């Protein structure tokens, strides 16, 4: 049957620093590397044999993917890197401390920016050096396609064409596919796959470094899904993500 695994990158330096990261190309920490190693061990123990893997063009996802595949002795698996799997663009919030932003703007407003379905944060100016239009890795893309901010809804709009064009055909061919990406690009896919409501997705948090396995039918409808390993550990990790803006830590 078609099998899909979603894996959020291991802890990044800005996860640790509790900053809005978005499209900033921040690397993983040593703790993040350990999470990636553990993810590989969990997938190996599950007996997964991947036919193809997809990731973003951000090093925290790429390094997590490579680390996990190395543990599985599957570095040979073909990998496609795409900007469409990048993290949600956090606009002018990128680089800011989450707890400090909460203290300044209030918990309710920051929760709207972080977790609302269709309300984006304030946009980043096109002339900002951090805008993707000024990044070489996106130089061949139409500048109009590059976001200065995104909501989860517009992140889903960005991710879905890649799902339909690249990932879904592989799954329909009965392949086993690994997608290693980011909290919000994966939340967007989660919403699409599970058909949860806009209200329900606000409370869904994807923990770092814990593989989420989907068993699909031939029409790619979800038959079942679960985190690999200890379910209580996955629940605690997801709760930690939800509490970032409050706690000032990850």
Strands (E), 97-246: 176-181, 212-216, 222-227
Which residues, including other chains, have CB under 8 Å from residue 144's CB and lie 6 or more apart? none
Percent of the chain's residues with pLDDT above 70: 96
| pLDDT tens digits along 131-169 | 999 999 999 999 999 999 999 999 999 999 999 999 999
Query: What pLDDT is stored for residue 248 in this prediction?
Result: 38
Query: What pLDDT is stored for residue 35 in this prediction?
Result: 97
Q: Say if residue 229 carries a ligand binding annotation.
A: no
| pLDDT tens digits along 169-193 | 999 999 999 999 999 999 999 999 9
Query: Kindly report the CA angle at 18 between 191 and 94, in degrees rounded to 5?
Result: 70
Task: Give residue 28's pLDDT band: very low, low, confident or very high (50, 70, 90).
Answer: very high
Q: Say if residue 176 carries a ligand binding annotation.
A: no
What is the rounded average pLDDT of the residues 13-22? 90
Q: Say if residue 82 carries a ligand binding annotation.
A: no
Query: What pLDDT is stored for residue 249 in this prediction?
Result: 34
| pLDDT tens digits along 194-211 | 999 999 998 899 999 999
CATH architecture of 3-148+167-247: 3-Layer(aba) Sandwich (3.40)
Q: Say if residue 84 carries a ligand binding annotation.
A: no
Query: What pLDDT is stored for residue 247 in this prediction?
Result: 40
**pTM summary value:** 0.92
Which residues have a catalytic role annotated? 9, 87
Q: Say if residue 13 carries a ligand binding annotation.
A: yes
Dihedral through CA 187, CA 199, CA 151, CA 56, nearest 10? Answer: 0
Q: Say if residue 22 carries a ligand binding annotation.
A: yes
Query: What pLDDT is stored for residue 243 in this prediction?
Result: 67
What is the rounded average pLDDT of the residues 228-243? 80
The continuous run of DSSP H or E covering 201 comes out as helix 198-201
Query: What pLDDT is stored for residue 88 in this prediction?
Result: 96
Residues found in the chain: 250
Q: Say if residue 236 carries a ligand binding annotation.
A: no
Asked if 199 and 74 count as a contact pair (C-beta separation under 8 A), the reply is no
Q: Say if residue 151 carries a ligand binding annotation.
A: no
Task: Give residue 127's pLDDT band: very low, low, confident or very high (50, 70, 90).
Answer: very high
Query: 54, exposed or middle or buried, with CB in 10 Å at 0-12, 13-18, 19+?
Result: buried
Task: Single out the residue of 235, 232, 229, 230 nearest to residue 46, CA to CA.
Answer: 229
């Amino acid at each position: 049957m078609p099998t899909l695994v979603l894996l959020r990158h291991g802890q990044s330096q800005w996860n640790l620093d509790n900053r809005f990261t978005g499209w900033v190309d921040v690397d993983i920490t040593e703790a993040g590397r350990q999470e990636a190693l553990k993810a590989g061990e969990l997938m190996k123990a599950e007996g997964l044999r991947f036919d193809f893997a997809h990731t973003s063009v951000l090093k925290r996802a790429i390094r997590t993917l490579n680390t996990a595949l190395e543990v599985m002795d599957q570095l040979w698996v073909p990998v496609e890197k795409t900007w469409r799997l990048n993290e949600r663009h956090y606009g002018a919030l990128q680089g800011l401390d989450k707890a400090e932003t909460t203290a300044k703007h209030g918990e309710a407003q920051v929760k709207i920016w972080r977790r609302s379905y269709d309300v984006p944060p304030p946009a980043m100016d096109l002339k900002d050096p951090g805008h993707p239009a000024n990044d070489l890795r996106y130089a061949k893309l139409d500048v109009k396609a590059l976001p200065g901010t995104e909501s989860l809804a517009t992140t889903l709009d960005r991710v879905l064409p890649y799902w339909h064009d690249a990932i879904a055909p592989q799954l329909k061919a009965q392949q086993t596919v690994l997608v290693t990406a980011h909290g919000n690009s994966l939340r967007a896919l989660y919403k699409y796959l599970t058909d949860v409501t806009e209200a329900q997705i606000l409370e869904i948090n994807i923990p770092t470094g814990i593989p989420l396995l989907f068993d699909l039918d031939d029409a790619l409808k979800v038959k079942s899904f679960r985190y690999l390993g200890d379910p209580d550990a996955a629940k605690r990790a997801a709760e930690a993500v939800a509490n970032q803006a409050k706690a000032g830590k990850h």
